[in-house]
Amino acid sequence: MERLVETISRQVEERKAELIHLLSQLISYPTVSPPARNTNDIQDFIKTYLEQMGFKTDKWEVYPEDPNVVGILKGEASTEYNSLIVNGHVDVAEVGDEREWHSSPFAARIQDSYLYGRGAADMKGGIAASLFAIKLLQDLGVSFKGDLQFQSVIGEEVGEAGTLACVEKGYSADYAVVVDTSDLHIQGQGGVITGWITIESKETHHDGLRRKMIHAGGGVKGASAIEKMVKIITGLQELERHWAVTKSYEGFPPGTNTINPAVIEGGRHAAFVADRCALWITVHFYPNEDYQEVIKEIEDHIRAVSAADPWLRENPPQFNWGGKSMIVDRGEIFPSLELDNEHPGMHALTNSYEKLLGHMPAVGMSTTVTDAGWLGRAGIPTVIFGPGKLEDAHAVNEKVEVQQLLDFTKVMAVFIAEWCNTKKGEE
């Protein structure tokens, strides 16, 4: 193995131009989301790349013109040896004003020690490097006894769970690496869920009746849904403060578990008392929490707040959580992901990192969210590990350090070779 490690490290450096060319090709596809519905061409490219390496591929539309691609390279002894998922999303963040970019966002360029282009860090760099690592192993004659699976998914930037679609189709493995932006740290993550809380009156009143609704003897039992939503917001703030005091998780600053009242919509016209108000909230929670448990906590608390109000008791708030698309459903879910530091896959990845780079990797928690939580929630031990820094991910003149891209390629190549040739249950 030591000789293979040296060969891989040397070959990656010598074939740097091939990796840069591959990443440049991926960047050239303008897969911006939103608006999305534009990934068919890049997925065809990746599908062909996988097939040329002998992968059996599955391509299906998650949304029109936004397909997933899964490639599987069957191992020589699949039932006995470890299988691996490598996962990445092909959609990229919005570009903004292109005049602020030093060059076209979709024409990769090298300047100093960086490669620039939309998706360089988030996360076409990770995809290109992983594909190239597999190709390099094949060129070196390395075969796999366990199955290797490559998931190229859509929709991550707008909460469209392409990875969830893979899970729902039954794709699984003994371990998974989501090659999203992590600065070569090995990470888990907290979770995010959005939800709508809606208050709706059973009756609609002209605003000329407001005097009778708010003064003694008025005789009209009514209320403004907007004003009643203030009580709900106050209740959410109380719960948020309670969480900040009673919950914590190593690697996160205190109070990271937040409830943000992000958008409010209410009323129909200035001549009416508001008979409807909807609040869109974003909830952050810790890696050891499941979003269904978090939902229950919020609903229980807000129902208790409502029970203390005579009008809200009769017009209780309604809840609508999550969604599979910020574009279609105006909602999203990113499940949390805890790390299993004792898992053989974690040991194999950290050992590969140390062999190639001469020191142990940083292991901790991402400050953002990725698709990794869907794999973890499906019972697949998963980590986030990829090139690129988070501050570059959605930025104007997005970039990735070329040497970091090469280092990631080396680590992934050695890890894949080792993991997919290790018997299940062995270190």
Give the catalytic positions in this structure: 91, 156
Q: Decide: residue 255, CB within 10 A, 0-12 exposed, 13-18 middle, 19+ buried.
A: middle
Separation of alpha carbons 181 and 368, rounded Å:
10
Q: Identify whether the C-beta of residue 41 lies closer than 8 Å to the C-beta of residue 22.
A: no
Separation of alpha carbons 190 and 422, rounded Å:
30
Separation of alpha carbons 324 and 6, rounded Å:
44
SS3 265: strand
What crossing angle do the helices spanning 40-52 and 16-27 adopt, rounded to 10°?
150
- Enumerate residues 6+ apart whose C-beta is below 8 A from 52: none
Cα-atom radius of gyration of the chain, to the nearest Å? 25
The DSSP letter of residue 173 is -
Q: Beta strand pairing status for 259-266 and 191-200?
A: unpaired
